[in-house]
Amino acid sequence: MNNITKKRIYMDCAATTPVHPDVVQAMLPFFTENFGNPSTVHSFGREAKSAMEEAREKLANAIFAKPEEIVFTSGGTEADNFAIKGVAYFDKNKGGHIITSKIEHHAVLETCHFLEKNGFTITYLPVDEYGTVNPEDVQKAITDKTILISIMHANNEIGTIEPIAEIGKIARKHNITFHSDAVQTLGSIPVNVDELNVDMLSFSAHKLYGPKGIGAIYIRKGTKMVSFLHGGEQERRRRAGTENVPYIVGFGKAVEIAISELVQKRENLTCLRDKLTNRILTEIEQTKLNGHPTAKLPGHINVTIKHIEGESMVLNLDMEGIAASTGSACSSGSLEASHVLTSIGVAPEDARSSLRLTLGRQTTEDNINKVADILKKVITRLRAISPLYKKR
């Protein structure tokens, strides 16, 4: 990390993370001396292919899958599009009904909206006050036309972890393909394809200290779907196009590091997260924690701080050198209340007064204390000029 990032405090790891220096080192030779195209038969190509397959194996091992069940993509968005459209178009004649939740990432929701306009029927399941999907609701929504269930592993805004294993059991009982967006969970909590009972998972390297623009989809052997990109025979004809070898190598390295650090990082982050959460809730009045109290990602905090616009908090924290967010990066800048927060019952005005702080492997106890102190100062300043704020 350079000096500038050292002085500033980065609390937006759910949006993206810095590339780990070892990941950069692992990638570098594949831009220059090992630049071969993995589809070519000479030594340059063979070297590139072998590095790519090593990365595939690392990811497969991390999630207890087989290497041939991994397809590299350009990121989480493509993996979500691939999973949902791939099954939808393969199974369209079976009825075209898809079940998802109201709090999915836009990569899933917008894909479902697109399919809706193209003749598919989508059920958007509600969630409870913590953002949890009730498996019984999944069961009830299934019809003889249901071809796919897509429920995220953990939510990117509030960090709630969904009961994926239970939902997977239901999907399996009905012989329905089950996809889960695991973009926020890989490297944060254990991801095991068999324990989760999933057929497909989406991943993105830049959430776990890998580069942006590379991700993957896990596709359980036997899952029926159409290919995403048509052209050459790469990725077992499931995703055509010359593979992004340096980024795939970087992704593999990032996964290897993340898995080796997982237990320690999870413990450390949970402790720091709880400290910061406690300080915010006890030292700043009229605050409320959003998301599940326990079944949540180790680095996620989402709080409503009443009577102040989330955007003002983010801008003021930024001026103090703290990077935070109002919700998902894709919707920041828009004044629409977060669909996740309104789905868990937060009033639109409170949803607009919410702040997301997401910690990562670089977060220290000193960072936590500084963030709490500065946040208190910023909130006092903003509330002093807020026409809506009244001290209780």
Which amino acid is present at 74?
S
CB of 59 to ligand PLP, least distance (A): 14
Task: Give the strands of the sheet with 354-358, arranged side by side.
Answer: 287-289, 300-305, 354-358
CB of 296 to ligand PLP, least distance (A): 14
The secondary structure of 273-304 as a DSSP string is HHHHHHHHHHHSSSEEE-S-SSSB-TTEEEEE
CB of 15 to ligand PLP, least distance (A): 6
Catalytic residue among 13, 112, 271, 330: 330
- 330 labelled catalytic: yes
User: Rule CB under 6 A: which residues touch ligand PLP?
Assistant: 75-77, 80, 105, 107, 152, 156, 181, 183-184, 204, 215, 329
CB of 203 to ligand PLP, least distance (A): 8
Exposure of 352 by Cβ count < 10 A (0-12 exposed, 13-18 middle, 19+ buried)?
Answer: buried
Residue 369 backbone dihedrals phi, psi, to 5 degrees: -65, -40
> By beta-carbon distance, which residue lies closest to ligand PLP?
76
Instruction: CB nearer to ligand PLP: give 81 or 268.
Output: 81
DSSP β-ladder status, 215-219 and 200-204? antiparallel
Place of tokens 């099954």: 87
* Residue (of 66, 20, 18, 59) closest to 259 by Cα position: 59
Q: What does the alpha-carbon distance between residue 262 and residue 62 come to, in Å, rounded to a whole number? A: 11
Instruction: CB nearer to ligand PLP: give 69 or 80.
Output: 80
* Residue (of 123, 120, 177, 124) closest to 147 by Cα position: 177
Query: How many Cα atoms occupy the beta-carbon half-sphere of 145 within 13 Å?
Result: 12
CB of 36 to ligand PLP, least distance (A): 26
Give the 3-state secondary structure of residue 14: coil
Q: How many CB atoms lie within 10 A of CB 38?
A: 19
Instruction: CB nearer to ligand PLP: give 101 or 177.
Output: 101
CB of 388 to ligand PLP, least distance (A): 31
Cα 212 to its chain centre, rounded Å, is 13
N- to C-terminal Cα distance for the chain?
A: 43
Instruction: CB nearer to ligand PLP: give 164 or 379.
Output: 164
Instruction: CB nearer to ligand PLP: give 184 or 316.
Output: 184
Q: Quick one: tokens of 128?
A: 């409870």
CB of 101 to ligand PLP, least distance (A): 12
Convert 195-262 into a string of H (helix), E (strand) and C (coil): CCCCCEEEEEHHHCCCCCCCEEEEECCCCCCCCCECCCCCHHHCECCCCCHHHHHHHHHHHHHHHHHH
CB of 284 to ligand PLP, least distance (A): 27
Instruction: CB nearer to ligand PLP: give 204 or 363.
Output: 204
- DSSP secondary-structure letter at 146? E
Instruction: CB nearer to ligand PLP: give 148 or 152.
Output: 152
Instruction: CB nearer to ligand PLP: give 197 or 204.
Output: 204
Give catalytic residue positions: 330
